[in-house]
């Protein structure tokens, strides 16, 4: 029986997770929610978990507006949750994995560090279609709720598109935090060389290093996810997990030693 796993990296209590699960249910998906018990942003595709004698703690939850939907808080990173779902946690593995809705965009090559995208890429490695959804809410005014419903409203359209792709396809959707009537059209985007923000690290002393975020200088490449999102467009990008670099003539280099 086909079913959909909903996960994220913001944790089981995140409103974006609940909005994504509700959108999947409304689209006719049979849903199980399993998300980290704690905030796990930046986890990438880590499969670390709080293992105790080979057991990972799991707790059942009731999620608002999702009566009857099984939901679990797991003491593990999001990619571990996707991995566990594929490798025997349930009677059958999911046929679709949705990850998000992340609080903050996941853009450029920096998506390698995103737990939201990491869960989707893990599913793709097992030949399962997956979608990571992120809302560009970093600049949402204080006291204003991010537009989860607007981002969730794009999910059914993207799921129809995803269903027509090969098994193992992974898509990442980024949505501007704008009212629905102010959104640009959904655009296919390349990954920007740099994300919307970058981290800078500097030495403080022998016991500490300092970390802060900056906006990268210069203009994002035309057609990239950073450029299109900044122009008000939701962006869709197909991504893949780690693979060989077939373009590097490594064998030739070895023979020339």
| All domains of the chain in start order, with CATH | 4-193+221-241 (3.40.1210.10)
Q: What CA–CA distance (Å, rounded) separates 57 from 73?
A: 8
pLDDT in tens, 150-172: 999 999 999 999 999 999 999 99
The DSSP string of the chain is: ---EEEE-SS-TT-HHHHHHHHHHHHTT--EEEEEESS--TT-TT---B--BTTB--EEE---TT-TT--EEEESB-HHHHHHHHHTTSSSS--SEEEEEEEES---GGGGGG-HHHHHHHHHHHTT-EEEEEEEE-TTPPTT----HHHHHHTHHHHHHHHTTSPTT-EEEEEEESS-GGG----EE-BPPSS-SSEEEEEEEETTEEEEEEEPPSS-PPTTBHHHHHHTT--EEEEE------TTS-HHHHHHT-
The structure tokens 């590097």 sit at 248
Give the N- to C-terminal CA distance of the chain in Å, as an integer: 55
Q: What is the pLDDT of residue 244?
A: 87
Q: What is the pLDDT of residue 225?
A: 97
Q: Is 164 exposed, middle or buried (0-12, 13-18, 19+ CB in 10 A)?
A: exposed
Q: What is the pLDDT of residue 21?
A: 98
Q: What is the pLDDT of residue 205?
A: 73
Q: What is the pLDDT of residue 246?
A: 86
Question: Which of 22, 245, 18, 240 lies closest to 125 in space, CA to CA?
Answer: 240
Q: What is the pLDDT of residue 216?
A: 61
Provide the whole-model pTM. 0.92
Q: What is the pLDDT of residue 103?
A: 96
Residues of the chain with pLDDT under 50: none
Q: What is the pLDDT of residue 219?
A: 77
């Amino acid at each position: 029986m086909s079913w959909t796993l909903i996960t994220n990296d913001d944790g089981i209590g995140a409103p974006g997770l609940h909005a994504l699960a509700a959108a999947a249910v409304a689209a006719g998906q049979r849903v199980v929610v399993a998300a980290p018990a704690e905030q796990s942003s930046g986890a990438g595709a880590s499969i670390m978990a709080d293992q105790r004698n080979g057991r990972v703690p799991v707790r059942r939850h009731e999620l608002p507006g999702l009566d009857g939907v099984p939901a679990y808080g797991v003491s593990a990173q999001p990619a571990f949750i996707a991995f566990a779902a594929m490798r025997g946690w349930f009677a059958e593995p999911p046929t679709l994995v949705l990850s998000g809705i992340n609080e903050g965009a996941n853009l450029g090559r920096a998506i390698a560090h995103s737990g939201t995208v990491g869960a989707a890429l893990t599913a793709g490695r097992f030949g399962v279609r997956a979608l990571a959804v992120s809302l560009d809410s970093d600049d949402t005014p204080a006291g204003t709720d991010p537009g989860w419903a607007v981002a969730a409203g794009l999910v059914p359209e993207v799921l129809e598109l995803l269903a027509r792709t090969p098994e193992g396809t992974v898509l990442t959707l980024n949505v501007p935090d704008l009212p629905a009537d102010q959104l640009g059209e959904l655009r296919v985007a390349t990954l920007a060389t740099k994300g919307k923000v970058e981290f800078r690290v500097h030495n403080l002393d022998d016991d500490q290093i300092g970390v802060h975020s900056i906006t990268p200088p210069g203009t994002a490449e035309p057609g990239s996810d950073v450029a299109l999102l900044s122009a008000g467009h939701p962006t869709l990008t197909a991504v893949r997990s780690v693979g060989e670099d077939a373009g590097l003539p490594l064998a030739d280099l070895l023979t020339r030693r």
